[in-house]
Structure 1
Amino acid sequence: MKIRCGYDLSYYCPQAVPMQFLLSVHPSRERDLVTPQVMRTDPHLPTRIVLDHFGNRLTRMMVPPGEIRLSADFVVEDSGLPDEVNWDAQEVPIDRLPDDVLIFLMGSRYADTDLLSDIAWQMFGGTPRGWARVQAIVDYVHDRIRFDYQMARNTRTASEGHREQVGVCRDFAHLAVSLCRCMNIPARYCTGYLGDIGVPKVPDPMDWSAWFEVYLSGRWYTFDARHNKPRIGRIVMARGRDATDVAISTAFGSAILGRFDVITDELPEETSHRHSYSGQFSSSLMDGGQPMPALSRG
């Protein structure tokens, strides 16, 4: 299947401010791009793309005073398969974990494992190890937290989410990540596109979503404590320890969010053909860090 993705954002900056954005599809999904993921800025600004410490594609720019608009509209090829389920997946002993996985056992800004460790062992110490233990944690978090957009708070930690029992997708992910880490299971926070594909559509405005991945049997598996069911069309943008590492935008000064529209739609087959084009493209930046111009679509 083909999925149309994109965004249309605006910010107002009272004065010039350096900003960075994690708005690109993760490098692991770039091979699935059908059309280029070109970020357009209005006014046009020089941009620079780098890989951050977690391998995410980070866009940096200096934003002048006034309003800036960022937009993109592109198509991604997806298998159409739901998230993989593997009940045979096992925990990896800590001494056998790869070096780059160890960081996902540690507490972080929103994953305050030190305040949840006793609860985690009381709740899940007797559960079967491996996939079954992670699923028990997901079930618990799914039932524990009530989803409510009106109760979103960008400072809520995992322990606060556990105590308040309300939040949005990031709060489900933070609590599940924290409880897994408390049980010595590496877990990392993810953000990306997740549309209403294969499920009843909801009336809420489209937004980016948060979920998490767990390291079992030598690889990462996807879990989603908010929805608690395998989903279709999940397109990762960034991974990190928690929401701090994968913030959609970071301003080193004042930047007021105005417009916020996100697109995630499955394309009908005939529409998919209209969005395709002949030839090849590179998703890398060229011409001294300037985004390449959009290619016309046939």
Structure 2
Amino acid sequence: MKIRVGYEMIYDFPQPTPMIMVLGTHFTRASDVIVPDHLTTSPSVPITPYRDGFGNWCSRIVAPAGRLHLAADGMVRDSGLPDVVVPSAIQHAVEDLPADTLVYLLGSRYCETDRLSDDAWRLFQNTTPGWPRVQAICDFVHGHIAFGYEHARATMTALEVFNEGKGVCRDYAHLAIAFCRCMNIPARYCTGYLGDIGMPPPWAAGDFAGWFEAYIGGRWYTFDARNNIPRIGRVLIAQGRDASDVPITQTFGPNTLVSFRVWTDEVKEGA
């Protein structure tokens, strides 16, 4: 299947303002890209690309004073299959984990493992290690949090989500990640495109999505505590310890987001 992905964001800046963006399809999907979703700006400004410490491609600009239009419109090839499910995937002993996964056992800005450890062990110590344990965490988080955009808060942490029982997709991911790490399972935050392909209507308005990956069975597997079912057409943009590592845009000065639109649409064959 082919999926059209893209976005349009309009900002107002009172003064020239540095800006970092993490917006392109992840390099692990490079072979699937049919039409690159290159970032464009209006007015045109110099764009400097770089790779961050997690391997994500990022872009730097200095936004001019006034209105700035950011956009991309690309197309990727996808298997059309739902997220992989491997119930037999084992949990690794910490001493057997690859060195590059260890950072994803540690606490981070939005995932306070030290403050959630007792609750995690109380809730999940009797679950079967490996895939069943991660799925039990997703089941709990999915049922514990009430979804609503009105609950979104930029400072919301996993502990606050646990205590308040409400949030948006990134909050589901943060709480599940924190619980996994407390149970000695490496877990990392993912951001990307996720439309409603294969889902019955009514369909939600387009948006970027947050989910997570857990390292079990010798590789990283996708989990999504918000939806809690395998989904079709997930297009990764970036990975990090939590959302603080992979904000879609990071501005270094005052601004107003005037307009925001995202699309993730299946393209019928022959189109």
TM-score range, shorter-chain basis? over 0.9
Between the aligned partners of 2:201 and 2:190, the Cα distance in structure 1 is 22
Between the aligned partners of 1:231 and 1:36, the Cα distance in structure 2 is 23
The offset of 1:98, in angstroms, is 1.4
Contact 1:80–1:232 (Cα < 8 Å) also in 2: yes
Higher strand fraction: Structure 1 or Structure 2?
2
The corresponding residue for 1:127 is: 127
Q: Which range moves more in the overlay, 87-96 or 229-238?
A: 87-96
1:197–1:203 CA distance, 2 compared to 1 (3 A):
closer
Between the aligned partners of 2:109 and 2:3, the Cα distance in structure 1 is 33
- Equivalent AA in structure 1 for residue 49 of structure 2: I
- Equivalent AA in structure 1 for residue 56 of structure 2: N
The offset of 1:18, in angstroms, is 0.7
Contact 1:17–1:63 (Cα < 8 Å) also in 2: yes
In the TM superposition, structure 1's runs of 4+ consecutive aligned residues that sit over 2 Å from their partners are: 201-204
The offset of 1:36, in angstroms, is 1.9
Between the aligned partners of 1:203 and 1:151, the Cα distance in structure 2 is 20
Contact 2:196–2:203 (Cα < 8 Å) also in 1: no
The corresponding residue for 2:169 is: 169
1:203–1:196 CA distance, 2 compared to 1 (3 A):
closer
The corresponding residue for 1:237 is: 237
The offset of 1:270, in angstroms, is 2.3
Between the aligned partners of 2:5 and 2:51, the Cα distance in structure 1 is 21
Between the aligned partners of 1:253 and 1:189, the Cα distance in structure 2 is 26
Aligned length, in residue pairs:
271
CA deviations 1:86-135 (Å, max 9, x no partner) are: 01101111112111110000000000111110000001011111000000
Please state whether the residue corresponding to 1:270 is helix, strand or coil: coil
Between the aligned partners of 1:201 and 1:240, the Cα distance in structure 2 is 32
Question: For structure 2, which runs of at least 5 residues remain unmatched after alignment?
Answer: none
The corresponding residue for 2:259 is: 259
Between the aligned partners of 1:24 and 1:137, the Cα distance in structure 2 is 30
Between the aligned partners of 1:255 and 1:93, the Cα distance in structure 2 is 47
State the Cα RMSD in Å: 0.8
Q: Which range moves more in the overlay, 137-146 or 89-98?
A: 89-98
Between the aligned partners of 2:116 and 2:50, the Cα distance in structure 1 is 35
Between the aligned partners of 1:28 and 1:98, the Cα distance in structure 2 is 19
Contact 2:105–2:185 (Cα < 8 Å) also in 1: yes
The corresponding residue for 1:62 is: 62
The corresponding residue for 1:274 is: none
Q: Which runs of structure 2 are paired with 1:1-298 in the superposition (5 Å)?
A: 1-271=1-271
Between the aligned partners of 1:65 and 1:32, the Cα distance in structure 2 is 37
Between the aligned partners of 1:40 and 1:237, the Cα distance in structure 2 is 17
Between the aligned partners of 1:204 and 1:83, the Cα distance in structure 2 is 20
Please state whether the residue corresponding to 2:71 is helix, strand or coil: strand
- Equivalent AA in structure 1 for residue 60 of structure 2: R
CA deviations 1:122-149 (Å, max 9, x no partner) are: 0101111100000000000000001111
Contact 1:196–1:202 (Cα < 8 Å) also in 2: no
Please state whether the residue corresponding to 1:266 is helix, strand or coil: strand
Between the aligned partners of 1:71 and 1:270, the Cα distance in structure 2 is 25
Please state whether the residue corresponding to 1:170 is helix, strand or coil: helix
Please state whether the residue corresponding to 2:34 is helix, strand or coil: coil
Between the aligned partners of 1:197 and 1:131, the Cα distance in structure 2 is 25
The offset of 1:203, in angstroms, is 4.5
Question: For structure 1, which runs of at least 5 residues remain unmatched after alignment?
Answer: 272-298
CA deviations 1:164-190 (Å, max 9, x no partner) are: 101100010000000000000000000
The offset of 1:256, in angstroms, is 1.7
The corresponding residue for 1:293 is: none
* Percent identity between the two aligned chains: 52
The offset of 1:261, in angstroms, is 0.4
The offset of 1:202, in angstroms, is 3.4
CA deviations 1:222-278 (Å, max 9, x no partner) are: 00001100000000000000010010000111122111000100011121xxxxxxx
Please state whether the residue corresponding to 1:71 is helix, strand or coil: strand
Bigger Rg, which one: 1
CA deviations 1:6-31 (Å, max 9, x no partner) are: 00001111111110000001110121
Between the aligned partners of 1:5 and 1:127, the Cα distance in structure 2 is 38
